[in-house]
Every structure is written in C-alpha cells, then in structure tokens.
Amino acid sequence: MRNHPKTIAWCIIMTLCAIGAVANEPAEPVDPGKRVVVSERIIGGDTATTSASQPERAGLVAVRDAETGELRAPTASEWQELASTFDVLNRSDQGLVERTYSDGSVGVRLEGRFQSVSMINRSSSASGEDVVEATCTHSADTVVAKLASTEAAAESQDDDETEAAHDH
Amino acid sequence: MITSARSFHAAPMGATLTAVLLLAAVAPVAFGAEVVIINNDGAGVGLNDPTPATPVAGNNGTTLGEQRLNVLERAAQIWAQNLVSDVPIAIQAQTASQACTATTAVLASAGAAVVERDFPNAPEAGTWYHGALANAIAGVDLDPGSPDITTQFNINLDEDPNCLGGNGWYYGFDHEEGPQTDLLAVMLHEYGHGLGFANFANESTGTLFQNIPDIYTTFTRDLETGTDWNDMTNAERIASSINDPDVVWTGANVTAALDGFLAPPVILTIDAPGNIAGAFPAQSASFGPPVPGGAGLSGSVVLAEDGVGTGTDGCEAFTNGAAVNGNIALIDRGSCSFTSKVVNAQAVGATAVLIANNVATGLPPMGGSDPTITIPSIGISQTEGASIQGELPGVDVTLEFDLGAPLAGTNGGFLRVNAPNPVAPGSSISHWTPAATPSLLMEPAITSALTDDVDLTLEHFRDIGWTLLTPSIFANGFEDGDCSAWSASNGGGC
C-alpha cells in the first residue's frame, strides 16, 4: 500500500551526486551492412551497478513527517515515488555507455535520464481566482521545491485535511 | 501513421521493439512518419486497465486503458502528420506512480532515449542529435535495440482520490478538460521535447553533454554578449542561462515565421477624456477571443455593479445590466475567477471587459478557460483602473495591438528562449519564453489555451534538421535554412 504524499512534507535534503548506475549491456548483434560497434566505454569510467530498488543517485534524501515534524528516512513506497521522478530528471552522463561505431558515429543511450517533467499546481490566489499552474521542468530541485512548498502550505492552512490524509 | 503494440508488456526492450517493428505497416500518404507506441505496462493496469469507460470527445475507447493509449496515439499522430521520417519513431510508454498531493502533482515525463552524433548525413559534425531526428536524417534506425523516446504519466491522478481532488485525467481530444487535466496537451508538449526541443546541457554547471555541442545549443545565442552557446565557456553558459531577455533562438526558419505566429503586445488606449488619454500596457486573456486586429475594439466604459460584497468585482449577476449592455465593462480584480467575471459581463451584453488590478504593481494574469466566452477581455493596471473610474461616465477606450512594438516574446528579431533571473531550474533555455503571445506549445507553462496546434515548434524542428510535410518559408527560391540569402532579400533579421 502506497503511503500518500499528504502524510509527509516533502522536505528533501539532497546531495545529488550521481553514481555510475548502468548495468553493462552487451553490444548489439552485428547486422551486416549496418553500423558495427567497435568500442564501448562507460562514461566516467565507473562500472558500479545499483539494485533496481534504489534510485540512480547518491546522497542524503530525507522526508519530514507532517505528523511528527521530524526528519526520517523515506519509506520504500516514498522512495518509489520520488525515485521514479528523480531518475528521469537525472542530467548526469556519468555511467552511461558510449558506443563508437565502425563508420565513426557515436551513440549514447540515455537510460531514462534527461527527461522533462510536467507538473501542475491547482490553488486559489489571495484574490480569489482559481490558479492553475502547469509547468515543465528538467530539474529535480524544482520538483522537490514545489512539492515541499505546497505540502507546507497545506499543513499550515488545513491541519484537519492533513490528518484525514494520514489514513489513506 | 501510428502503430501501437498494446500486447507488449515490460519485456526486454530489444526484443520488444524488434517485434513491434515487424508488425508495422507501410505509412500511408497522410503521414510523413510512422510512430510506434510501445505499451510497456503490465496486464490489467495503466494502458491495459480493463475498467469500462464512456467514450469522450473523439476518444472512442471503451476501457480506461484504451482511452489512455488512444490519447498517446493521438498526440503521436499530430506529430506524425507533420514530420517526415522513413524510420519509425518508437515511443516507449507506461504509467507510473509519481508524487501527487491535493494541489500539486507530477503529471508526466518524456525525453529522447538516445543521442547520436557523426552519423551518416549528419548536417553538423561533432554535434549530438536526438535519436528520432538522427534516424530520420540518416534514413536508418541507428540503434534498433532502443526506443527513440520514453514517456510515462502519473496514474495517481486517476487512482488516488486525494490526488488533485480526485478529478483525474481528461482523455477527450477537444482540450475542454474543465477541472480535469488534459493528457493530450501534456503529451504533445512532452513528445516535443523527445523529438528535439531540448538541449543536453546542464544549466547549473554550464557543461555540455560530454563537452560536445548538441543541435539545440547550436541555435542558442546570447545577444548581450553576441556569443553562441557552443562558443561559450561553462561559466559563460551559467551566466547566459539567466540572462533574460537576451537569450534567443537563431534558427532561420523560426525567425522567418515569427510574423505569422506572434502578435504585438496588447494595449489599452484611452481615447477620452483628454486628461487621462494615452496608451497603456495590458494583459491579454488565455480565454475568449483575442482583441481584434486592425482598429481594435472601441467603446464606452461602464463600471460593473453586482450589489454583493465588493460591488464592482463582477462575481455575481450585474444589477446594472441595462447600462453595461453594448458597452465595455470595467470590473475590479478579486473574489472569483477571471472567467466568472467575463461570463457575467457577457450575460448582460457587454462588448468587452477590462479587469483592473487590485494590487499596485503589474497586470492581472488573466488565466483560465471557458469555451462559452465570446467577448475579448484584457487586464489593466490598478492605476489605469482608478483613472477610468474617476472619470466615469464619459470614458471611451480602444482595446488594440501596439503595431509599432516588437512582437511579444522577441528580441532583436529573434524569438526568446526562457532564461529568467533568478534561474528557474529546469525551465531555463529548453523552452520558449512565456512572454510570447499567443501562448506557444513549448513554453514552460502548459496553458489551457493550447490546442492541437503545434505552432512554431514545427519551424524549430525544421531548424534542427527535421524535414516537414509543409513547405518551408524559404522554399521559393532559397534552400531551407539559407539564412544569408534570405537576409539579403529581406533586410536582415535572419
């Protein structure tokens, strides 16, 4: 059962130090008449791998529990939600595999990194207008900041709502 | 042409894609490219969710899974009708559980799955290209074991009742999403990034991907320093990434097409009385028709009165409807949505609406969506609103474009890219400026005004090397992108 994000404030402290995270992949089968891989190298020279359950990032990630106000390690389900976002926003080339082909061309599979992410915020302004802000970002920091700010606002404005969400 | 592989689940990518492509048919004439949607969801969930659903606005799917997949296909179809490629464009799609609160959510993500450089026919040597574009130029699938674009969207909008109020995704094709979230507009935008509208630079460190330029940075220039991004040091790129409004797109096709897409800024001209006459900045609305071109729209101003609370906020039915009928309504900002105010004015026969700001600086943002609105509206400053109120009755105004001003969102004849200071992490550079009018698909803010129109993104794609079904503005006598020849005949600006 996934813990709903309303149960926590997404107060995230991150040191985004990407580590090599791409499993070595075999070269593509040679297709006569097409490009042939003549060399492969792991960018950054780090051949470390990570388990599938961990995000491809290193550093400290903590969440602040809205109920206790204390920092704690994210639960597995919280990791799952955050990691799925952080992975796509990773803009490091470290650990990716660069393939050089017989015709001199070069290709790199981005392994799900360098994605853009659309976010939305629905709220009411102080003037009473319905405010819907849908933005596109490539930054994990932006995602964290938006989630943290809206959670903090929700806490201060409506404790009852937050409490109700704890049961989700 | 769109080909979906609905039965393929989370199988190893190489095997999946190979199998999908074997099933692909020859592209019909109506499409310049074939797009393959690779359904990466497991059985019974996400894109395969068997929950019955009622067809909605052009989406004839009868299950949630079908409707979701239909939207992904529709977005792909729009691009496929414009782009030319002999190599199928493979989009690997899936749903995912992503962060969501009552008011904020991650909606979706997408991007290129692979980058290529120095491939056969590459226009620019030593330059990274997005995989789908590289394949199109090379005429061969350079990495047949990989999709070209990967995308996922947040399933919690549908499955978590506390996510954004439980309103869920909108799967219709008409962009009339109401309180829901329009998946089609989001996916059109996100596919755009995957097809080429994104750089691979890191704006935080100033570094290029592998210290090698990409085709997007090739057309990015800082007008203040006169330096292209590929010629900058890392420190210069960091500085340039926040140098709004001086960071621009220099591609010849976008530059040549600006006149056909962008409008000059909207202004409010006070015609009478003379003591407050003049032209003043105004904010166009994201809803309703635009201000008419040419002579604009003129009329006498009448202050709205609704008799409840702040009687001039226009949030309830007008009590002076007869006076407003046939005139331009002046309404104070606050207490309800912009669209509600305009709907109330329209109901009594107003020809247009001025919404005066309720704070001392800036203009009302004039956001919102309501397809029933048929009259134009603009936001004006608190100062101008007070000036007009002080002279009523007897104030005549014109809503019009400032034809002598540069097109909104341009600088030096070029379209600006988003480079706000302080930095907006992640939104910088790989989007158009939000100052462009009307709103463009690849602005950082995905507005409710967006439709199926992919606007200037097409000319952007032509700049970076895509072949389009539509002819280039340079087609008559000049080669595509022949900037120098075009400039010679058009007095520069290219």
- Number of A to B CB contacts under 8 A, please give it: 205
**Residues B160 and B12 occupy one common structural domain:** yes
Q: In what order do the strands lie in the sheet with B297-303?
A: B278-281, B266-272, B396-401, B297-303, B328-332, B352-356, B377-380, B283-284
In a domain, A128, yes or no: yes
Question: For B239-251, what is each residue's pLDDT tens digit?
Answer: 999 998 999 999 9
Residue-range definition of the domain harbouring residue A150: 5-23+50-90+112-166
Residue B220 C-alpha, separation from nearest chain A C-alpha, in angstroms: 18
> 3-state secondary structure string, B132-165?
HHHHHHHCCCCCCCCCCEEEEEECHHHHCCCHHH
The residue among B370, B401, B432 that closes a domain is B401
**Residues B149 and B6 occupy one common structural domain:** yes
B275: amino acid identity, one letter: N
Supply the mean pLDDT for chain B.
Answer: 86
- pLDDT of B394 higher than 90: yes
In a domain, B203, yes or no: no
**Residues B236 and B351 occupy one common structural domain:** no
CA distances from B330 to B281, B306, B357, B395, B437 (A): 16, 12, 11, 11, 23
In a domain, A44, yes or no: no
Using an 8 Å CB-CB cutoff, list chain A residues near B133.
none
* Three-state secondary-structure class, residue B11: coil
**B328: nearest Cα among B264, B392, B403, B401:** B392
In angstroms, rounded to a whole number, what is the distance separating the alpha carbons of residues B189 and A147? Answer: 22
In a domain, B45, yes or no: yes
**Residues B256 and B346 occupy one common structural domain:** no
**Residues B228 and B303 occupy one common structural domain:** no
**Residues B358 and B464 occupy one common structural domain:** no
Q: Are B116 and A129 in contact (CB < 8 Å)?
A: no
Residue B474 C-alpha, separation from nearest chain A C-alpha, in angstroms: 30
- pLDDT of B18 higher than 60: no
In angstroms, rounded to a whole number, what is the distance separating the alpha carbons of residues B199 and A109? Answer: 15
Tokens of B154: 């947040």
Average pLDDT over every residue of B34-40? 94
In contact, B444 and A137? CB cutoff 8 Å = yes
How many domains, in total, are found in chain B?
3
Q: Which of B112, B368, B445 sits opposite A130 (nearest CB)?
A: B368
Q: Are B104 and A147 in contact (CB < 8 Å)?
A: yes
In a domain, A41, yes or no: no
| Range of A156-160, B43-47, B279-283, B477-481 with top mean pLDDT | B43-47
Q: What is the pLDDT of residue B286?
A: 77
* Three-state secondary-structure class, residue B492: coil
In contact, A7 and A74? CB cutoff 8 Å = no
Q: What is the pLDDT of residue A145?
A: 65
Burial class of residue A88, CB neighbours in 10 A (0-12, 13-18, 19+)? buried
Q: What is the pLDDT of residue A62?
A: 54
Residue A23 C-alpha, separation from nearest chain B C-alpha, in angstroms: 14
In contact, B341 and B355? CB cutoff 8 Å = yes
Q: Are B120 and A105 in contact (CB < 8 Å)?
A: yes
Q: What is the pLDDT of residue B487?
A: 45
Q: Are B109 and A151 in contact (CB < 8 Å)?
A: no
> Using omega within 30 degrees of 0 as the cis cutoff, is the peptide bond preceding A5 cis?
no
Give me the phi and psi of B268, to 5 degrees please: -110, 120
Q: What is the pLDDT of residue B235?
A: 96
**Residues B430 and B379 occupy one common structural domain:** no
Residue B259 C-alpha, separation from nearest chain A C-alpha, in angstroms: 26
Q: What is the pLDDT of residue A139?
A: 64
Residue-range definition of the domain harbouring residue B358: 266-401
Q: What is the pLDDT of residue B410?
A: 94
The string over B387-412, giving b where at least 16 C-beta atoms fall within 10 Å of a residue's C-beta and e elsewhere, is bbeeeeeebbbbbbbbeeeebbbbbe
Q: Are A28 and B104 in contact (CB < 8 Å)?
A: no
DSSP state string for B197-232: -----BTTTTBPGGG--BTTGGGEEETTTTEEGGGS
- pLDDT of B30 higher than 90: no
- Which of A114, A156, A163 to mutate to test binding with chain B, by most B CBs within 10 Å of its CB? A114
Average pLDDT over every residue of B13-39? 57
B317: amino acid identity, one letter: A
- pLDDT of A8 higher than 90: no
Average pLDDT over every residue of B57-81? 95
- pLDDT of B192 higher than 60: yes
Residue B164 binned pLDDT confidence (cut-offs 50, 70, 90)? confident
In a domain, B200, yes or no: no
- pLDDT of A135 higher than 90: no
| Residue B389 CA to its chain's centroid (Å) | 36
- pLDDT of B270 higher than 90: yes
In a domain, A102, yes or no: no
Using an 8 Å CB-CB cutoff, list chain B residues near A146.
104
CA distances from B480 to B123, B257, B259 (A): 13, 13, 18
Question: For B335-388, what is each residue's pLDDT tens digit?
Answer: 888 888 999 999 999 999 999 998 888 888 787 777 788 999 999 999 999 999
Q: What is the pLDDT of residue B200?
A: 92
* Higher-pLDDT residue of A155, B149: B149
B151: nearest CA in chain A? A115
In contact, A62 and A19? CB cutoff 8 Å = no
In angstroms, rounded to a whole number, what is the distance separating the alpha carbons of residues B187 and B181? Answer: 11
How many domains, in total, are found in chain A?
1
Neighbours of B479 (CB within 10 A): 10
In a domain, A84, yes or no: yes
Question: For B135-156, what is each residue's pLDDT tens digit?
Answer: 999 999 999 999 999 999 999 9
**Residues B376 and B419 occupy one common structural domain:** no
Q: Are A107 and B143 in contact (CB < 8 Å)?
A: yes
Q: Does A26 touch chain B (CB under 8 A)?
A: no
Tokens of B304: 């709205």
Q: What is the pLDDT of residue B450?
A: 72
- pLDDT of B306 higher than 80: yes
Question: For A87-97, what is each residue's pLDDT tens digit?
Answer: 667 778 888 99
Question: For A23-64, what is each residue's pLDDT tens digit?
Answer: 334 444 445 456 788 888 888 764 433 333 333 333 445 555
Q: Are B427 and A131 in contact (CB < 8 Å)?
A: no
Q: What is the pLDDT of residue A142?
A: 66
Residue B408 binned pLDDT confidence (cut-offs 50, 70, 90)? confident
**Residues B364 and B411 occupy one common structural domain:** no
**B264: nearest Cα among B400, B424, B160:** B400
Q: What percent of chain B has pLDDT over 90?
A: 62
Contacts of B265 (CB under 8 A, 6+ apart): B281, B282, B401, B402, B405, B408, B437
B14: nearest CA in chain A? A28
Residue B390 C-alpha, separation from nearest chain A C-alpha, in angstroms: 23
Q: What torsion do the CA atoms of A100, A106, A109, A110 make, to the nearest 10 degrees?
A: 130
Pairing of strands B227-228, B297-303: unpaired
Q: Which of B99, B186, B210 sits opposite A5 (nearest CB)?
A: B99
Q: Are A129 and B338 in contact (CB < 8 Å)?
A: yes
In angstroms, rounded to a whole number, what is the distance separating the alpha carbons of residues B144 and B16? Answer: 11
- pLDDT of B22 higher than 60: no
Q: What share of chain B is helix, strand, coil (3-state, %, to 5)?
A: 25, 20, 50
In contact, B189 and B206? CB cutoff 8 Å = no
Q: What is the pLDDT of residue A80?
A: 62
* Higher-pLDDT residue of A81, B385: B385
Say how many CA atoms lie within 13 Å of B418 toward its Cβ. Answer: 25
| Of A153-157, B123-127, B205-209, B304-308, the least confident | A153-157
Using an 8 Å CB-CB cutoff, list chain A residues near B181.
120, 134
In contact, B400 and B269? CB cutoff 8 Å = yes
* Higher-pLDDT residue of B7, B176: B176
In a domain, A39, yes or no: no
Residues, chain A: 168
In a domain, A103, yes or no: no
CA distances from B25 to B88, B204, B319 (A): 10, 44, 63
B135: nearest CA in chain A? A107
- Which of A136, A144, A161, A162 to mutate to test binding with chain B, by most B CBs within 10 Å of its CB? A136
- Which of B13, B109, B306, B442 to mutate to test binding with chain A, by most A CBs within 10 Å of its CB? B109
Average pLDDT over every residue of B283-303? 88
This complex has an ipTM of 0.78
B202: nearest CA in chain A? A91
The residue among B354, B373, B401 that closes a domain is B401
Q: What percent of chain B has pLDDT over 70?
A: 87
Question: For B462-476, what is each residue's pLDDT tens digit?
Answer: 999 999 988 766 654
Question: For B413-426, what is each residue's pLDDT tens digit?
Answer: 999 999 877 666 55
Question: For B416-459, what is each residue's pLDDT tens digit?
Answer: 999 877 666 556 799 998 888 888 899 887 766 677 888 899 99
Q: Are B427 and A114 in contact (CB < 8 Å)?
A: no
Q: Does A103 touch chain B (CB under 8 A)?
A: yes
Q: Does A131 touch chain B (CB under 8 A)?
A: yes
**Residues B62 and B177 occupy one common structural domain:** yes
**A144: nearest Cα among A68, A58, A83:** A83
In a domain, A147, yes or no: yes
Q: What is the pLDDT of residue A123?
A: 64
The residue among B352, B378, B401 that closes a domain is B401
- pLDDT of B307 higher than 70: yes
**Residues B171 and B283 occupy one common structural domain:** no
Partners of B90 in the β-ladder: B36
- pLDDT of B115 higher than 80: yes
Supply the mean pLDDT for chain A.
Answer: 58
* Higher-pLDDT residue of A120, B314: B314
Tokens of B141: 């699938």
B206: amino acid identity, one letter: G
- pLDDT of B24 higher than 70: no
Tokens of A69: 């106000």
Q: What is the pLDDT of residue B233?
A: 97
Q: What is the pLDDT of residue A165?
A: 23
**B320: nearest Cα among B309, B344, B341, B304:** B304
Q: Which of B104, B430, B445 sits opposite A150 (nearest CB)?
A: B104
B475: amino acid identity, one letter: A
In a domain, B360, yes or no: yes
**Residues B186 and B331 occupy one common structural domain:** no
Q: Which of A82, A84, A114 sits opposite B111 (nearest CB)?
A: A114
Contacts of B107 (CB under 8 A, 6+ apart): A117, A118, A119, A120, A134, B153, B154, B157, B181, B186
Q: What is the pLDDT of residue A140?
A: 64
- pLDDT of B53 higher than 70: yes
- pLDDT of B67 higher than 70: yes
Q: Which of B14, B112, B337 sits opposite A110 (nearest CB)?
A: B112
Chain A from 143 to 162: CB within 8 A of any B CB: 143, 146-147, 150-151, 153-154, 161
Q: Are B97 and A80 in contact (CB < 8 Å)?
A: yes
Q: Does A52 touch chain B (CB under 8 A)?
A: no
Helices A159-166 and A140-157, axial angle in degrees (round to 10): 110
In angstroms, rounded to a whole number, what is the distance separating the alpha carbons of residues B63 and B230? Answer: 48
Q: What is the pLDDT of residue B301?
A: 95
Using an 8 Å CB-CB cutoff, list chain B residues near A147.
99, 101, 104
